């Protein structure tokens, strides 16, 4: 019998559409305008009717229905999302002088006498990216490291301040909205009141509560949290859809149903920015949400384009941070922590004190010189400072309150964890454990670093597994990883035979690496991925690097005396050489490297810019290979740019390249260039 389409009566179609329109209106009045038109009971009745109709006519259920805000099935883990346009951080300013210096740099670069800025409160929440296609929310992602974030789409759909469908018309076919998820002061108080009633642990501050709520694997948990949202910028957006100014774009956002903070204003010059800052400083406590400063953005988009970027931040914006908050408490103990690189850090254990939006029980004393300079002792009353996410620190001891029997604190001469001798490197204030990879305090972090993506890239080897290996004494150093067996692994918690075999396969796969990756994986102090690549390109072999003296190392571009010292000290330690020999014996290997002096450099001094997502290479890999052939890879398109490499979902750099007449090439052309030996 042939299948026939089911005809849905017109009445429920109209009713569902009407209910959705009503509920969207009430969501906006309640969550964005704080001006509800109906009671909670009336709202709940509308929602119940909508859900009942959608259950009866499932063909009418759409992703943008307000009923979908209740949460989906719990997730096993978050997927990773690569931001087509990086979510950059901002430079900070802490004084009027620094704001004036920022304004001066902007004016000089633009060649104008006065600049207009959009001034907006810096919300203390979690940055999020919302992608709309044809007006429908299709993806939400956290900022992550700026290039890669977590897919939190299911959770974002539960936040009623975020429209599932854009209102009005004339919005772009594809639009990425950037904004902040936060919890209001009222919502935070209610959340903690609920936690107390349930006998659960209270949240420390609204920011942590918002971040934790958005990153719940169970979206229904997120749906129960009082999350809000304000939009403050854009990512992917056709240039034709952008107005002349940032402030005008925010007005368009409002017309499309996206909430925008009402406190945003446009100011002129450094004086306008400073006056705006003073206003927020006075009104901070009266605001219904927490802020930790004010953000100033050059208002005109053409000016922003001309200003460009530096490192991981735009030149056209700055965050003026509020002064750090301070409090007084007592030091109950001073412990010494040992970090991954062996650094000894004195930490004051404090009587709990609420400061800077959080309860503080520990504060750093930085290093031996700081402890001596501040003369902080156990039993002292101290002044503690905390600002935003900065680690709390002890500013000074209140000598008038010092008990008579206190003793001056002295740093240990031997590692408090492994007993190894504590050493100092000339020119450094930090004391270090000489135990290297054998010190238990350094083992875990060193192994985590060794297995990380930019290092040996051992898939499936995470912190929890490494902790089990160390707790059960299956390994002592990174070299022991390659002696593990399926039988040993399958006995561990949550590790069946298949998972065990997968990890053994990943370990085997990691043995074939590159010299640069291996150098980075060793965790030599201040030798990051870029420095490791320089060492490999200029010296060519591990033996040459290990035998190089400081003078030879400093002859390599961008390697100074401090880094050279760290490298020579590392390779002088017998235990480090022993671990390396064990790794080589286990089969860790890499192809020969052609040293820089012998390398063919057909692209010497040719400037490239890479935009969008590449299919066969990551942007970092493409950059490294281009630089190996002598090219320069920059982040901003300019008249000096020779080629723009355009992957999928390119950003605004495409238009800039076209405007300047820069030659654009695709990934296939790039690969053909890289194939030159």
Which residues are part of the catalytic machinery? Answer: 122
DSSP classification of residue 31: I
**Which residues are CB-neighbours of 389 under 8 A, at least 6 positions away?**
none
Unique residue bearing structure tokens 């010497």: 604
CB 556 within 8 A of CB 535: yes
Unique residue bearing structure tokens 């974002």: 156
Print burial letters for 520-554: b (CB count within 10 Å at least 16), e (below 16). Answer: bbbbbbebeeebbbbbbbbbbebeebbebeeebbb
Residue 509 to residue 35: CA distance in whole angstroms: 59
Q: Where are the beta strands (DSSP E) in 504-636?
A: 512-513, 589-590, 607-611, 632-634
From the list 352, 357, 249, 208, the residue with the least C-alpha distance to 293 is 357
CB 131 within 8 A of CB 139: yes
Residue 645 has phi, psi (to 5 degrees) of -90, 115
Residue 455 to residue 518: CA distance in whole angstroms: 6
Q: How many helices (H) and strands (E) does the chain have?
A: 24, 26
Residue 431 to residue 413: CA distance in whole angstroms: 9
Residue 141 has phi, psi (to 5 degrees) of -145, 145
Residue 186 to residue 191: CA distance in whole angstroms: 9
From the list 408, 31, 6, the residue with the least C-alpha distance to 183 is 31
Residue 660 to residue 639: CA distance in whole angstroms: 6
Instruction: Give kind and range of the element (H or E) at residue 281.
Output: helix 269-283
- Show the tokens assigned to 659: 């405007």
Residue 410 to residue 397: CA distance in whole angstroms: 16
DSSP percent split of the chain into helix, strand, coil, nearest 5: 40, 20, 40
Residue 650 to residue 179: CA distance in whole angstroms: 21
From the list 326, 75, 396, the residue with the least C-alpha distance to 220 is 75
The size of the chain, in residues, is: 677
Ramachandran category for residue 236: left, alpha or beta (phi over 0 → left; psi -120 to 50 → alpha):
beta
């Amino acid at each position: 019998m042939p299948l026939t389409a089911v005809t849905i009566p017109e009445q429920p179609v109209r009713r569902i559409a009407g209910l959705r329109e009503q509920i969207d209106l009430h969501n906006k009045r309640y969550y964005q305008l704080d001006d509800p038109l109906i009671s909670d009971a009336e709202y709940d009745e509308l929602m119940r009717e909508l859900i009942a109709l959608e259950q009866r006519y499932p063909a009418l259920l759409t992703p943008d229905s307000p009923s979908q805000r209740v949460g989906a099935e719990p997730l096993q883990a978050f997927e990773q999302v690569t931001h087509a346009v990086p979510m950059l951080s901002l430079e900070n300013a802490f004084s009027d002088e620094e704001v004036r210096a920022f304004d001066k740099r902007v004016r000089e670069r633009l060649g104008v006498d006065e600049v207009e800025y959009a001034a907006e409160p810096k919300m203390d929440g979690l940055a999020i990216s919302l992608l709309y296609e044809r007006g429908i929310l299709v993806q939400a992602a956290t900022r992550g490291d700026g290039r890669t974030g977590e897919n939190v789409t299911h959770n974002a759909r539960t936040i009623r301040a975020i429209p599932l469908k854009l209102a009005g018309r004339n919005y772009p076919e594809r639009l990425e909205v950037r904004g902040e998820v936060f919890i209001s002061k009222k919502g935070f108080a209610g959340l903690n009141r609920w936690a107390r009633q349930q006998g659960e642990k209270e949240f420390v501050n609204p920011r942590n509560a918002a971040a934790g709520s958005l990153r719940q694997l169970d979206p229904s948990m997120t749906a129960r949290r009082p999350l809000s949202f304000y939009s403050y910028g854009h990512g992917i957006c056709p240039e034709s859809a952008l107005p002349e100014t940032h402030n005008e774009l925010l007005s368009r956002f409002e017309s499309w149903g996206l909430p925008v903070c009402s406190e945003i204003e446009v100011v002129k010059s450094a004086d306008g920015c400073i006056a705006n800052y003073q206003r927020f400083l006075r009104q901070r406590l009266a605001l219904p949400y927490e802020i930790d400063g004010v953000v100033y953005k050059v208002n005109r988009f053409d000016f922003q384009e001309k200003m460009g970027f530096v490192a991981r931040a735009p030149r056209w914006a700055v965050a003026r941070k509020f002064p750090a908050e301070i409090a007084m408490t007592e030091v109950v103990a001073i412990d010494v922590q040992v970090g991954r690189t062996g650094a000894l850090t004195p930490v004051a254990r404090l009587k709990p004190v609420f400061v800077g939006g959080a309860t503080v029980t520990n504060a750093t004393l930085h290093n031996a010189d700081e402890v001596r300079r501040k003369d902080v002792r156990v039993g002292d009353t101290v002044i503690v400072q905390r600002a935003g996410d900065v680690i709390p620190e002890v500013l000074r001891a209140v000598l008038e309150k010092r008990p008579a029997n206190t003793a001056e604190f002295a740093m240990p001469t031997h590692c408090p964890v492994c007993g190894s001798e504590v050493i100092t490197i000339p020119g450094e204030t930090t004391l270090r454990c000489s135990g290297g990879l054998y010190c238990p305090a350094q083992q875990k972090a060193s192994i985590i670093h060794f297995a990380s993506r930019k290092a040996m890239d051992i898939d499936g080897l995470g912190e929890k597994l490494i902790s089990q290996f160390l707790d059960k004494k299956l390994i002592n150093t990174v070299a022991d990883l390659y002696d593990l067996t399926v039988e040993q692994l399958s006995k561990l918690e949550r590790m069946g035979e298949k998972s065990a075999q997968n990890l053994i396969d990943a370990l085997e796969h990691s043995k074939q690496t590159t010299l640069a990756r291996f150098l980075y994986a060793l965790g030599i102090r201040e030798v990051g991925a870029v420095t490791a690549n320089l060492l490999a390109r200029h010296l060519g072999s591990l033996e040459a690097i290990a035998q190089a003296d400081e003078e030879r190392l400093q002859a390599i571009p961008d390697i100074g005396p401090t880094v050279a010292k760290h490298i020579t000290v590392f390779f002088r330690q017998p235990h480090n050489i022993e671990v390396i020999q064990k790794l080589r014996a286990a089969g860790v290997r890499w192809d020969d490297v052609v040293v820089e002096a012998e390398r063919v450099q057909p692209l010497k001094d040719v400037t490239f810019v890479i935009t969008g997502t590449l299919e066969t290479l990551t942007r970092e890999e493409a950059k490294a290979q281009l630089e190996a052939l002598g090219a320069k890879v920059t982040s901003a398109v300019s008249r000096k740019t020779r080629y723009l490499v355009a992957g999928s979902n390119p950003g605004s750099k495409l238009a800039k390249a076209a405007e300047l007449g820069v030659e654009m090439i695709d990934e296939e052309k790039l690969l053909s260039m890289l194939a030159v030996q």
